[in-house]
A and B are shown apart, each in its own frame.
Chain A
Amino acid sequence: MKAFNIIGKDIPRTDGKAKATGQAVYADDIKLPGMLHGKLLRSPLAHARIVNIDTSKAAALPGVRLVITGADLPKVTTGNWRLFPKTQDEYALAIDKVRYIGDEVAAVAAMDPDIAEAAIELIEVEYEELPGVYDIESALKADAPLLHDGYKTNISIDRKIEYGDLDKAFAESDYVREDTFTVQAQSHAYMEPCSCVSQADQEGRITIWTSTQTPYIVQCLLASALNLRENDVRVIKPTVGGGFGGKMELRSWEVCSAFMAQKTGRPVKFTLSREEELMAGRRRHPMTIRSKIGFKKDGTIMAKDLHIYLDGGAYNAMGPTACFLAGNFGAMLYRYPNYRYLGEHVYTNKPPASAMRGFGAPQTLFAAETQMNMAAEDLGIDPIDLRLKKRPGDR
């Protein structure tokens, strides 16, 4: 047998020693001379119009260097799908409206985290509370309050996949069943809370150390958010304490720290608390999954018709990708000769759902596998046999 250098060998990870000795540097471990500490003011309401924000008392607190609101930042929305600008629906700091409890409204940079936290409390925001929607069903009602302007419903995006002839296949099936499954949200709960430090040079060019899984996305989106050229934004990804899909976007604190570093001429660090992570952090999509499946008596799969509503929370985040992938995963593992998918991504007044390990697969496959078992029982076929059955086209 050929001897390989790598394959079949235990190769210790290259950063193992740094991590085992505590020398590995994570974003919150970074400390730069003159560094300021940032803190975000978050919305206490799930849905409200911002009538007025008064930051004067906060700005006057000794030790506070800068207070900003959405009005201070370039008016640019962000989102991962740059080719579909309409899906980019989130401001770094809210403009006009807040859409979930925890939505970022203002930011403070101060000499130490305690001062920043005290200053946050001094920001006075006048809200006009609006009715909210908290689940798929109420968000889809005809008279439901709408989260975003420019939409006729709370459906932000839909994706379709279709092949074969569904009507014919269901008509030719001996056994058809239709079930609805619901799945709940889930936190990534990475052990390292999000954190970043930005530094600006005299030209306003940014270096940002940030706990991210996707430095290039941060680079290009941060450049657009601050009207910079991409090569004026340098993203350094230090060691990251877990992400699981939850650290794949440009986030509010990254924009605020970079902007505030430009304005103050000093490095600015933001580190979230565990409470912020759990209250306002990204999450896995709750879904309502309606699945119709047809079989021949012998267990041959004829067709599947899948309709999924994704509870996307207040903004798209990476929901459009989840909406698309859920349809792909819905057609996985077995050969479905005829398949139709409609995924609809629904805005609700909750923290945005986004990418999370499997990205649509755990939800759809939970539904698919459960339904397989239910069908197996009705068909009188062992659930394993039903799964292992050769299907036309299988090798």
Chain B
Amino acid sequence: MKQEISLKVNGDTYDLYIEPWRTLNEVLREDLNLTGTKLGCGSGDCGACTVMIDGKSVSSCLTLAVEANGKEILTVEGLAPSGEALHPIQEAFIEKGAIQCGFCTPGMELSALNLLKNNLEPNETEIRHAISGNLCRCTGYNKIVDAIADAGQRMKSQQ
């Protein structure tokens, strides 16, 4: 039976009427056309679907949309403060060469934010632990690690 839910995604409120078995990933991508959030495995293993719910990073492929009812969701589309300015994490990813095919990038950036929101100066081990749930098949991770460290510095200088 369909259920009425309300999702606040990137600051916008959506009232939806959806089937309870649908995942947040499906609803974001198909109903809201927010396709920045990717689907790489559907089983919690790759992190391409990472979004934030109430400030915590989660796998949207394992989250039922109904579970997110009334919560605040942040996707990659909501990271940049405006159409012109990028989020420091996005700037750092671009400048440090942390993006190749880009399929892992939205999830990586949200995992980076999940780390940096509490710790702007993480060491390498902390960064690697923070992205242990995000697979990247292109970069070999080193540049992503550099980018996250750099993003922390950028965020710090903005404070």
Binding site for B on A (CB under 8 A): 10, 12-13, 15-26, 28-29, 31, 188-193, 239-242, 244, 273-274
Contact = CB atoms under 8 A, between A and B. Distances in A.
A12 B42 contact: no
Contacts of A25: 35
Which A-B residue pairs are the 3 nearest by beta carbons? A22-B36, A241-B103, A19-B102
Contacts of B157: none
Interface residues of B, number: 40
A67 B89 CA distance: 46
A303 B22 CA distance: 63
Contacts of B99: 13, 16, 19-20
B77 A193 contact: no
Q: In this complex, which of A12, A22, A28, A190 has the most chain B Cβ atoms within 10 angstroms of its Cβ? A: A22
B97 to A, nearest CB: 8
A241 B38 contact: yes
A183 to B, nearest CB: 20
B152 interface: no
Contacts of B90: 17, 20-21
A4 B124 CA distance: 34
Given A16-B93, A23-B77, A190-B103, 7 more contacts: A12-B95, A13-B94, A17-B86, A20-B94, A22-B75, A22-B79, A190-B101
Interface of B: 29-30, 33-43, 46, 48, 75-77, 79-80, 86, 90-91, 93-95, 97, 99-106, 109, 135-138
Q: In this complex, which of B37, B91, B100, B105 has the most chain A Cβ atoms within 10 angstroms of its Cβ? A: B105
Contacts of B105: 19-20, 22
A191 B94 contact: no
B36 A191 contact: no
Nearest to A15: B102
Nearest to A278: B41
Contacts of B30: 31
Nearest to A239: B102
Contacts of B43: 274
Nearest to A191: B103
Nearest to B22: A114
A189 B36 contact: no
15 contacts: A15-B102, A20-B86, A20-B90, A21-B76, A21-B79, A21-B90, A22-B37, A29-B29, A188-B137, A190-B101, A191-B38, A191-B137, A192-B38, A240-B101, A273-B42
Contacts of B136: 191
A241 B86 contact: no
Given A16-B94, A20-B105, A26-B103, A274 B42 contact: yes
B86 A239 contact: no
B102 A241 contact: yes
A28 B28 CA distance: 13
